[in-house]
């Protein structure tokens, strides 16, 4: 059994939050530069140059990439031989509160969705998902998710009669209907299969895949390309300013599902794509 | 790409200059308001109470900034999704508001209401907060600090980049 202290975990999460607050996924920068070189709309080109300038300025000035510093999501892979000193949610919330005060981040969480919507004031609580794995490691994927893009995400329970083309059509229509609200250019995380609660989880996980990686299955790869290209051809563009870059990348993940079901979930991610994966190493204990 | 400067207050006679696809560099004092602040402003209008600032002279910025680090003018600055504030637009336009800064498309009916009153909707770029913060000369909590990020902030902008949407 390997014991992992609460301090080591909190510190790892805090440092991760700190890092992503000022730096998007480096592959986003690469894809945005490619987009700028192929952009047809002068307005969108101008906006892209401002976004790329933001990638340079944010870490230098230590001003967050986006004022919506988001809700904090943690996906943890915990080895069955690792023993954590406290529940992960406690370490996460401590790291969030410290980050909110010290970086500082915006307090963007309300205590209750309805009755009443009072801000918790410290950006806690975060959201935790745990998977058990072999070994004694602790691997943490931390994301900051803004509300604008999350609000345009969606789920539909299709049935097996649905063809791949129907799914493409549905996703294309929904993303285009959201227009510029989620701050395009976007990354689409798509979860197909599982059930009503796991398809959206799969969709969120799909966002953390290496950006622009080709899907290992050629059929899903074709589907990803069809979705990206179809949406880009419709001309919403960067922040709705036209041109050919509404979507930077589409990632699909799939899993087994019931013989009667075909769940499809889409998690919409803006270009302020803040996530990182860290290993809580032995040395930090 | 056509680019023009707008120094507040905006004069509706110049409406034709703000054609779709124009880049606008905005100067002057604006006030932020998100969902909660809009509710409260609307309540003031309904109760026929005096408004805390003159809507004709300024612009409303759909924005909830992140806190400033000690010594900094402001934290991260950027637009929030304007469609949520759509239902409040007609009453604010009736009360004199002519310039809104935000992001995303607003419902066609509200867009039409603005156009009919020669009011302009300016799109700012989301996820460009460090750059936008460099165009903020001053920023202070102006009203309803109990709302935190949703409070009304008074901000002075200099050459703040935005666009008239297509
Ligand atoms: S959608 Fe993304 S870029 Fe736009 S305001 Fe929200 S977090 Fe920022």
Q: Convert the pLDDT of each residue in A149-188 to its tens digit.
A: 999 999 999 999 999 999 999 999 999 999 999 999 999 9
Q: Write a three-state SS string for chain B.
A: CCEEEEECCCCHHHHHHCCCCCEEEEEEEEEECCHHHHHHHHHHHHCCCCCCCCHHHCCEECCCCCCCCCCCCCCCCCCCEHHHHHHHHHHHHHCCCCEEEEECCCCHHHHHHHHHCCCEEEECCCCCHHHHHCCEEEEEEEECHHHHHHCEEEEEEEEEEEECCC
The reported pTM is: 0.95
Q: Which residues of A touch B (CB under 8 A)?
A: 42-43, 46-47, 50-51, 53-54, 57-58, 60-69, 104-108, 117, 119, 121, 146-148, 151, 179-183, 239-242, 270-272
pLDDT of B148 above 90: no
**Candidates A66, A106, A272; nearest CB to B67:** A106
Two tokens at B28? Answer: 């002057």
* Same domain (yes/no): A137, A6: yes
Q: Output the pLDDT for position A69.
A: 96
Q: How far is A7 from chain B (nearest CA, A)?
A: 25
Determine the average pLDDT of the residues in A134-143: 97
Residue that wins the pLDDT comparison between A116 and B128: B128
Q: Output the pLDDT for position B153.
A: 97
* Same domain (yes/no): A137, A259: no
Instruction: Tell me the Ramachandran region of residue A33: left when phi exceeds 0, alpha when psi lies from -120 to 50, beta otherwise.
Output: alpha
HSE of A152, CA atoms in CB hemisphere, 13 A: 29
Distances (CA, A) of B59 to A181, B62, B104, B155, B166: 20, 10, 17, 10, 20
* Same domain (yes/no): A120, A19: yes
Two tokens at B53? Answer: 């600032």
Decide if B149 touches A, using CB distance below 8 A.
yes
Determine the average pLDDT of the residues in B26-52: 96
Decide if B27 touches A, using CB distance below 8 A.
no
Domain residues for the domain of A138 are 2-23+65-146+274-284
* Same domain (yes/no): A93, A120: yes
* Same domain (yes/no): A141, A215: no
- Tell me the pairing of strands B136-143 and B152-163: antiparallel
Q: Convert the pLDDT of each residue in A252-264 to its tens digit.
A: 999 999 999 999 9
Q: Is residue A28 part of a domain?
A: no
A283 pLDDT band (50/70/90 cuts)?
A: low
pLDDT of A285 above 80: no
Q: Convert the pLDDT of each residue in B104-124 to its tens digit.
A: 989 999 999 999 999 999 999
A282 pLDDT band (50/70/90 cuts)?
A: low
Q: Which CATH architecture has domain B22-63+72-163?
A: Alpha-Beta Barrel (3.20)
Determine the average pLDDT of the residues in A38-61: 96
Q: Is residue A103 part of a domain?
A: yes
* Same domain (yes/no): A141, A278: yes
Number of domains in chain A: 2
* Same domain (yes/no): A84, A201: no
Determine the average pLDDT of the residues in B56-85: 96
Cβ of A64 and B66 within 8 Å?
yes
In this structure, what CATH number is given to the domain that contains residue A122?
Answer: 3.30.360
Domain ranges of chain B: 22-63+72-163
Give the dihedral sign, CA B131/B135/B140/B143. negative
Q: Is residue A47 part of a domain?
A: no
* Same domain (yes/no): A204, A260: yes
pLDDT above 70: percentage of residues in chain A: 99
pLDDT of A3 above 90: yes
Q: Is residue A46 part of a domain?
A: no
d(CA A43, CA A201) in angstroms, rounded, equals: 35
- The verdict on the CB of residue B78 being under 6 Å from ligand 1 is yes
* Same domain (yes/no): A122, A247: no
Q: How far is A63 from chain B (nearest CA, A)?
A: 5
Q: Is residue A59 part of a domain?
A: no
d(CA B117, CA B94) in angstroms, rounded, equals: 9
Burial of B109: CB neighbours in 10 Å, binned 0-12, 13-18, 19+: exposed
B9 pLDDT band (50/70/90 cuts)?
A: very high
Q: Convert the pLDDT of each residue in A54-90 to its tens digit.
A: 999 999 999 999 999 999 999 999 999 999 999 999 9
* Same domain (yes/no): A241, A154: yes
Q: Is residue A31 part of a domain?
A: no
pLDDT of B135 above 60: yes
d(CA A157, CA A193) in angstroms, rounded, equals: 9
Q: Output the pLDDT for position A281.
A: 78
* Same domain (yes/no): A219, A229: yes
* Same domain (yes/no): A16, A101: yes
pLDDT of B89 above 90: yes
């Amino acid at each position: 059994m390997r014991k992992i202290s609460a301090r080591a975990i909190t510190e790892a999460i805090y440092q991760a939050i700190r890092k992503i607050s000022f730096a998007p996924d480096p592959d986003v920068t690469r894809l945005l530069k490619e987009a700028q070189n192929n952009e047809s709309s002068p307005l969108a080109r101008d906006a892209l140059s401002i976004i790329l300038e933001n990638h340079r300025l944010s870490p230098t000035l230590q001003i967050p990439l986006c004022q919506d510093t988001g809700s904090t999501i943690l996906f943890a892979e915990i080895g069955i031989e690792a023993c954590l000193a406290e529940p992960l949610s406690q370490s996460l919330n401590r790291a969030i509160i410290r980050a909110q005060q010290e970086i500082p981040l915006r307090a963007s969480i309300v205590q209750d969705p309805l009755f009443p919507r009072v801000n918790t004031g410290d950006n806690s609580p975060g959201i935790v998902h745990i998977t058990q794995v072999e070994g004694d490691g602790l691997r943490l994927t931390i994301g900051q998710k803004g509300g604008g893009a999350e609000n345009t995400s969606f789920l539909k329970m299709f049935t097996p009669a649905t063809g791949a083309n129907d799914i493409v059509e549905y996703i294309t229509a929904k993303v285009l209907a959201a227009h510029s609200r989620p701050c395009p250019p976007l990354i689409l995380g798509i979860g197909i299969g599982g059930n009503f609660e796991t398809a959206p989880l799969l969709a969120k996980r799909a966002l953390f895949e290496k950006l622009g990686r080709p899907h290992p299955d050629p059929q899903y790869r074709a589907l990803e390309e069809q979705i990206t290209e179809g949406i880009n051809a419709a001309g919403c563009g960067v922040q709705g300013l036209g041109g050919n870059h509404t979507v930077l990348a589409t990632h699909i993940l799939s899993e087994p599902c019931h013989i009667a079901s075909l769940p499809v979930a889409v998690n919409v991610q803006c270009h302020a794509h803040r996530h990182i994966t860290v290993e809580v190493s032995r040395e930090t204990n | 790409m056509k680019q023009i400067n707008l120094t507040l207050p905006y004069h509706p006679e110049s409406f034709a200059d703000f054609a779709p696809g124009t880049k606008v560099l905005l100067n002057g004092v604006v006030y932020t308001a998100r969902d909660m602040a809009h509710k409260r402003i609307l309540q003031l209008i309904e109760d026929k109470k005096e408004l805390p600032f003159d809507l004709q002279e300024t612009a409303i910025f759909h924005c909830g900034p992140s806190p400033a680090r000690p010594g900094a003018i402001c934290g991260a600055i950027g637009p929030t999704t304007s469609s949520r504030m759509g239902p409040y637009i007609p009453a604010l336009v009736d009360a004199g508001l002519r310039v809104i800064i935000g992001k995303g498309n607003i419902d066609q009916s509200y867009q039409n209401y603005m156009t009919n009153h020669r009011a302009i909707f300016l799109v700012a770029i989301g996820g460009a907060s460090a750059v936008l913060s460099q165009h903020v000369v001053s920023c202070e909590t102006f009203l309803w600090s109990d709302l935190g990020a949703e409070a009304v902030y008074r901000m002075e902008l200099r050459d703040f980049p935005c666009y008239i949407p297509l």
